[in-house]
Amino acid sequence: MGYVVLVLFVILLLLLASCVKIVPQANAYVVERLGAYQGTWSVGLHFKLPILDKVAKKINLKEQVVDFAPQPVITKDNVTMRIDTVVFFQITDPKMFAYGVENPIMAIENLTATTLRNIIGDLELDQTLTSRETINTKMRASLDEATDPWGIKVNRVELKNIIPPSEIQNAMERQMKAERERREAVTRAEGEKKASVTVAEGKKAAAILEAEAEKQSAILHAEAQKEKMIREAEGEAEAILKVQQATADGIRMIREAGADEAVLHIKSLEAFEKAADGKATKIIIPSEIQGIAGLAASVKELVSKQ
């Protein structure tokens, strides 16, 4: 009898323990009572009625990522390619997620494939390859609207790979190679053009500098010649001044010695002769000196007659 009571007590403890549930962070439990939805447990400690209540579904509320396999799609210009997508979603309503659709992940995958085919079908090959952001935005909006009744919010959709046919890939590679060669040729031509312009500008600057140097040299040479002529003229003027000063001193000395007026005029003529120094072609003699010269000639003539 005691053994039976012990077993019943253990069973009762286990039953009570099963009625205590702790919901961890970023999780939610959907609870049913007698098969009907009872409520949603959030984070914390919860109790349920034994036998009557049960946890129907444990739901992860974190953002989840699903990478779907490549899907064959046909563009507007009838090019078949394969595109694989990555979907980032989060469960926002545990009840709708638990009762909205049987297999939510498979439903999202099929919905992604059909939406992708519809969007790519309206685009040509070149647009498909260059409009990833547009395709991502359209797919996210379409999937988010379609999964809203399931309690799912689609945050982002990314095209992971776009795989065109091999012949298209080869043609694209040849096109890119030709484009790179064209850019290389353009870059080389622009470099040569800039080099030619730089050389021409250098020659122009050198010619300008050379002309400026010649101009400065001519100016300096002319100034030097001018200064030389000024110095020579000043020297000649100083020499004449000294000669005249010496002559004046000589005449003064003669006058002081008591010489007559005729001797003074003759000395003046000699002074003019020295001033000319054999270089002057014309000498202007004062009228009073000319008279003395005529008197000297008359005296010389009388002496010769005697």
Percent of the chain with pLDDT over 70: 81
| pTM greater than 0.75 | no
Left if phi > 0, otherwise alpha if psi is -120 to 50, otherwise beta: which for 183? Answer: alpha
> pLDDT confidence of 302, banded at 50, 70, 90?
very low
Nearest 5 degrees, angle CA 73-CA 79-CA 80? Answer: 35
Q: For residue range 30-52, what is the model confidence (pLDDT) as tens digits?
A: 999 988 999 999 998 888 888 88
Residues sharing a CB contact under 8 Å with residue 187, sequence separation 6 or more, in sequence order:
none
116 near 139, Cβ under 8 Å?
yes
Q: Say yes or no to pLDDT of 26 above 80.
A: yes
Average pLDDT value over all residues in the chain: 80
Fold designation for 64-164: Tetrahydropterin Synthase; Chain A (3.30.479)
Q: Which pLDDT score is estimated for 254?
A: 65
Q: Which pLDDT score is estimated for 282?
A: 52
Higher pLDDT, 276 or 2: 2
Alpha-carbon gap, residue 134 to 136, rounded angstroms: 5
Q: Say yes or no to pLDDT of 176 above 70.
A: yes
Percent of the chain with pLDDT over 90: 25
Q: Which pLDDT score is estimated for 15?
A: 75
Q: What is the residue extent of each domain of the chain?
A: 2-60, 64-164, 224-305
Q: For residue range 230-284, what is the model confidence (pLDDT) as tens digits?
A: 888 787 778 777 777 777 776 677 666 655 555 555 555 565 555 555 554 555 5
Alpha-carbon gap, residue 116 to 74, rounded angstroms: 10
Range scoring the smallest mean pLDDT among 24-38, 71-85, 157-171, 288-302: 288-302
Instruction: Please state, as a whole number, how many other Cβ atoms lie within 10 Å of the Cβ of residue 292.
Output: 19
Q: Which pLDDT score is estimated for 291?
A: 52
Q: Which two tokens stand for residue 43?
A: 């984070």
Left if phi > 0, otherwise alpha if psi is -120 to 50, otherwise beta: which for 278? Answer: left
Q: How far is CA 211 from CA 32, 197, 198, 215, 305, in A?
A: 103, 21, 20, 6, 77
β-pair type (20-23, 36-41):
unpaired
> pLDDT confidence of 299, banded at 50, 70, 90?
very low
Q: Which pLDDT score is estimated for 112?
A: 92
